[in-house]
Amino acid sequence: MRIFVQTLVVSFLIVVLQACGSADEKKTIRKPKQISQAELDSVALLYADSQRNERIHDFMVKLHKNAGFNGNVLVAQDDEIIYLNSFGWANYLLKDSLDINSKFELASVSKPLTAMGVLKLVEKGELTLTQTVNDFFPEFPYPDITIKQLLSHRSGLPNYLYFTENIWKERNIGMKNQEVIDMLIEHKPNRYGSPDGRFQYNNTNYLTLAAIIEKVTGKDFAVYMKEEIFDPAGMHNTAVLSKAVYEKIPTDVIGHDRAWRYSVVQNFLDGPVGDKGIYSTVKDLYLFDRALNEGRIVDSALLDSSYHTSSEVSHNGLFGYGYGWRTFNPENNPIVYHTGWWHGFKSLFVRDITQNKTIILLTNMANASLSHLDELYKILDMPVLRRNAYDGTGRYLNN
């Protein structure tokens, strides 16, 4: 990669020298060609096996063989990919191998992307964090819930994954976000808590945020996210895919639940989006990481606010939640991340914003493989990101 960048620089200098040496009577200096963002993204994604971190490779091979990891992995450090690989099947029944551009359901790793979609509207002045859900849905039966509370899981709303189970009759037809909002209005299931009470992770929060994005912009959530988040970040293999739109979601990667003989069938709960429903690749998530770091999605002050712990989750404040990001705050080394688990897919997106390190793991085998990453963190000289590795005071147990 470094050789390629050096070549670009040399080409740039040659163009400048040629322009300066022109015999043109007006001595016009031609401007060198501007390097496009797409070209910069292509350079960022360059990777060859010669760059491979062998310790990470040995670890991933063991994780695949011993813990059943089946999926794709990307690890980057100091703006360079140091490991990139695929392990296993896209669809076990077809014995169809994964490749590095395979698209996975991100599950709850969709939430950081949805949060950035919300903050983009805040940046434009089209939305404020203090507005309430009732500003957009006047009949919403749970008053005084703000955008900020939705982002940080402090709304106290009931979880739609449970209360719709006995209401929605068409099991193979996906629900739309607006239809879930309408069911909340009609059936008024009991809320879990009061607004701005304790942290309670809840998919209804991000479904509601996606519905508010549609209300504010007048655009389908999938269209808005493509225009405002995916395309600016260079994420051309990423899309919002809903079973409310597709009879069968168009992906070749099939989710499997713990064992190969159990592939997970899409159902009505694969309709709502924002809390999940974004499909992407490890490369596209890395481009998203870079776009955030470079301020190409939202400005740095607003982005920093999303990393601030708005809700303490556990271990004496060591683990918390911001706006769409889980937060991990070991001394002098803040990390933001998110996990995901949905219908046979599990995912992990870790961003060490102090040391400029990124870990992306996407799997279509919903087993415990992503709970066995201590060695990977140690190889990268990062704090171990596992709650059970710490006691209640936040002290590392080294177990």
Q: Which residues are designated catalytic?
A: 108
Q: What's the angle, vertex CA 14, arms to CA 11 and CA 18, rounded to 5?
A: 145
C-alpha 345/C-alpha 276 separation (Å) is: 11
Which of these, 68, 101, 95, 92, lies nearest to 235 by C-alpha position?
101
Tell me how far the alpha carbon of residue 152 is from its chain's centroid.
16
Handedness of CA 101, 107, 112, 115 (dihedral sign): positive
Give the span between the Cα atoms of 268 and 237, in whole angstroms: 24
CA 148, chain centre distance (Å): 19
| φ and ψ of 165, to 5 deg | -55, -40
Tokens linked to 207: 């479904």
Question: How far apart (Å, rounded) are the C-alpha atoms in residues 14 and 11?
Answer: 5
Within 13 Å of residue 306, how many CA atoms lie on the same side as its CB?
Answer: 30
**Sequential DSSP letters for 70-100:** -EEEEEEETTEEEEEEEESEEEGGGTEE--T
